[in-house]
Amino acid sequence: MNESLTTREVNMADKKKETVDEVIDEVVDSSKDDIEEVKSSLSKAQAALDSARSTMHDAYGKAKERGRDAAERTKVYLDDAKRHMADAKTKMSALAVKAREQAEALYAATKEQYDQLSEKAKELYDRVKEKVAEADLKGKSDQVLEYIRVNPGKSVLIALAVGFAVGYATRPRD
């Protein structure tokens, strides 16, 4: 199982990075045939059970000899049903193993992507933290106040424009 998981991981590394939705679609598509085989086996088992039930109903109330014949045919149908049920069980087990392997591979790929994004977020946070630490906020605020004193008309117009833009962006929409 570890070998197939490793092979799946290698195949995923060789492929272009897939999104989680693409991998889920791939899993669903690859499982459709297996599910159809399981449905087919279960359908055959149901048909065999229906035939057994029908045969038993036909035999009810008839002569003893015909009853024995019906019982033998019923036994054959029940054996068929048992065989088809075992076949369905085997196919369902294989499908479960396949789904588990694909889920493990998907988990590994998703975890890898998460770790990469987490590392990038940490780096970005550190860069922003450094930029904020470097910025001389006191000096900037003094420069802004000086600009307002020198250009009061422009400052009022800029404040109105910014207020209008913020108000327009945050107003409720119908």
Q: Which two tokens stand for residue 136?
A: 């001389």
Do 129 and 159 lie in a common domain?
no
Q: Are the C-beta atoms of 74 and 56 separated by less than 8 Å?
A: yes
Do 18 and 53 lie in a common domain?
yes
- The mean predicted confidence, pLDDT, of the chain is 80
152-173 pLDDT per residue, tens: 998 899 999 999 999 888 888 7
Give residue 62's pLDDT: 56
Do 62 and 127 lie in a common domain?
yes
Once rounded to an integer, what is the mean pLDDT over residues 48-56? Answer: 83
CA distance 41 to 31: 16
- Evaluate if residue 73 carries a pLDDT over 60: yes
User: Which residue range forms the structural domain that includes residue 50?
Assistant: 2-135
Do 65 and 25 lie in a common domain?
yes
Do 99 and 16 lie in a common domain?
yes
Do 69 and 94 lie in a common domain?
yes
Do 149 and 115 lie in a common domain?
no
- C-alpha count within 13 angstroms, C-beta hemisphere, residue 93: 6
Do 12 and 50 lie in a common domain?
yes
Burial of 41 (0-12, 13-18, 19+ CB in 10 A): buried
pTM equals 0.44
Once rounded to an integer, what is the mean pLDDT over residues 56-75? Answer: 73
20-36 pLDDT per residue, tens: 777 777 777 777 877 88
Query: pLDDT tier at 1 (50, 70, 90 boundaries)?
Result: very low
Q: Are the C-beta atoms of 84 and 48 separated by less than 8 Å?
A: yes
87-127 pLDDT per residue, tens: 888 988 888 888 898 889 889 988 999 999 999 999 998 88
Alpha carbon 93 to chain centroid distance?
20
Number of structural domains in the chain: 2
Once rounded to an integer, what is the mean pLDDT over residues 38-65? Answer: 78
